[in-house]
Amino acid sequence: MDLQIKNRIAVITGASSGMGIATAKILAQEGARIVMSDLDKKSLDEAVGKVRSEINDPERITAIDADLSKAKGADVLAEKVKATYGDAEIVVHTAGARGAAGDFLDLSDDDWKETIDIDLMSAVRISRAFIPQMQRNGWGRLIHISSENALQPYEEESPYNACKAAVINLTKCLSRAYSNDGLLINCVSPAYVKSPMTDAMMEEKAEEMGKSIDETVEWFLENKRPHIAVNRRGTAEEVAAVIAFLCSERASYVNGSNYRVDGGSVETAFG
């Protein structure tokens, strides 16, 4: 399918691994000019090299490192994108982290603030920095990443749950505010996808339980994510395929929606 995004300027945060790099590969193959952004420059440069190796015109891919947990991080990124390629037309915000986890009563204000800065305020900052660029184009696609946790929260991850629920609400708010400017703003909610974040969770749990990673994943599916109908972890590529569609001209009548890519994990039909 031709996504009709050739030469569109796309910015992907959290691009050094997981859904970020998987999305970068698809959009690059579709002919977009891409800025890949992440916090760690070394891992980001390695990711850019991998994406460049899969296309004929590697100069279409560049790296700009940015710390989106800081108030000015998104603004600096937006300025550098404009100086490099021009105004962004597609922005995919995959950057995030699990943040503080544990018993609700043990979590401090600082634990909450750290998670909010990473998982909610980064989405606010990215939106605020790039919406004006897309408005100038009269065309734009902004994709935020939420989680199954927003609809089916897990008790040990209350800050993350709350932030991801807020991201869905923010997405809907922005989609209503800026649709007349030619912007389509949507959200994707994965569940238990293989990524550095879930790998770290499994490694921690495996050490705690004295099991192998494979045994721990099997235990986790059975005991912590029993509603995943396909009974396996998802892949970054499966999520990226949905993200890429929402970035495209093909998704021209999709706005303010939350797409669950969760293998059936969310138990209710109407979440």
Confidence bin at 151 (pLDDT 50/70/90): very high
Share above pLDDT 90 across residues of the chain, in percent, rounded to a whole number: 89
How much is the pLDDT for 201?
87
Distance (Å, rounded) from C-alpha 218 to C-alpha 206? 11
Q: Report the DSSP beta bridge partners of residue 92.
A: 12, 143
Tell me if 16 sits within 8 A of 47, measured CB to CB: yes
Reported as a single tens digit per residue, the pLDDT across 178-198 is: 999 999 999 999 999 998 888
Distance (Å, rounded) from C-alpha 246 to C-alpha 240? 10
Q: Is the pLDDT of residue 253 over 80?
A: yes
Tell me if 194 sits within 8 A of 220, measured CB to CB: no
How much is the pLDDT for 134?
98
We find that the CATH architecture of domain 9-193+235-261 is 3-Layer(aba) Sandwich (3.40)
Q: Largest Cα–Cα distance in the chain?
A: 55
How much is the pLDDT for 230?
94
Q: Is the pLDDT of residue 1 over 80?
A: no
- Strands ordered across the beta sheet of 61-63: 61-63, 33-37, 9-13, 90-93, 140-145, 183-190, 258-261
What's the one-letter identity of residue 182?
A: G
Q: Is the pLDDT of residue 78 over 80?
A: yes
Reported as a single tens digit per residue, the pLDDT across 218-242 is: 998 999 888 899 999 999 999 999 9
Distance (Å, rounded) from C-alpha 153 to C-alpha 164? 10
Q: Is the pLDDT of residue 53 over 80?
A: yes
Domain map of the chain by residue range? 9-193+235-261, 194-233
Distance (Å, rounded) from C-alpha 23 to C-alpha 44? 14
